[in-house]
Amino acid sequence: MRMITTEKINETIYNALDEINQLLPGEKKIQKTEGEILYGSGSRLDSLGMVNLIVAVEQRIQDELGQSIDLTDEKALSQKNSPFLTVKTLSDYIASLLNN
């Protein structure tokens, strides 16, 4: 199967962030950069925002990349370093799910 590039995955995450940002006031909007912190201290997202982001990313991977992934399976939740920490860790985690 064709490898899905980091650029493509990041673009999908950024599209999901656009969707989430529509609901957020100016100062809370999430930056579309790889280093943006999504989870834990330093994140602009509250817990509900995080839930919405994860669901939006899953739906966009389905719609834009045609693949069904589950970002919150036991594996993701049991990792020592949360895959949801930053845009980059999320992107890497999605790549590992898609390309394995």
Partner 1 sequence: MKDKKVILITGTSKGIGKYLAEYYCSKGHTVTGCSRKESEIKNENYSHFSLDVTDEEKVKELFLHIRKNQPGLDVLINNAGIASMNHVMLTPLETVKKILGTNFTGTFLFCREAAKLMRKNNSGRIINFSSVASDLAVEGEAIYASSKSAVVTFTKVLSKELSSMGITVNSIGITPVNTDLIKNVPAGKIDNLLEMLTIKRLAELEDISNVTDFLIREESRFITGQNINLGGV
Query: Interface with partner 1 by CB under 8 A: which range of 2-10, 31-39, 48-56, 89-97?
Result: 48-56
- Contact between 22 and partner 1 (CB under 8 A)? no
- Contact between 67 and partner 1 (CB under 8 A)? no
- Contact between 52 and partner 1 (CB under 8 A)? yes
Task: Output phi, psi for 41, to 5 deg.
Answer: -70, 140
Helix axis angle for 47-65 and 6-21, nearest 10°, is 130
Interacting residues toward partner 1 by CB under 8 A: 48, 52, 55, 58-59, 62, 68
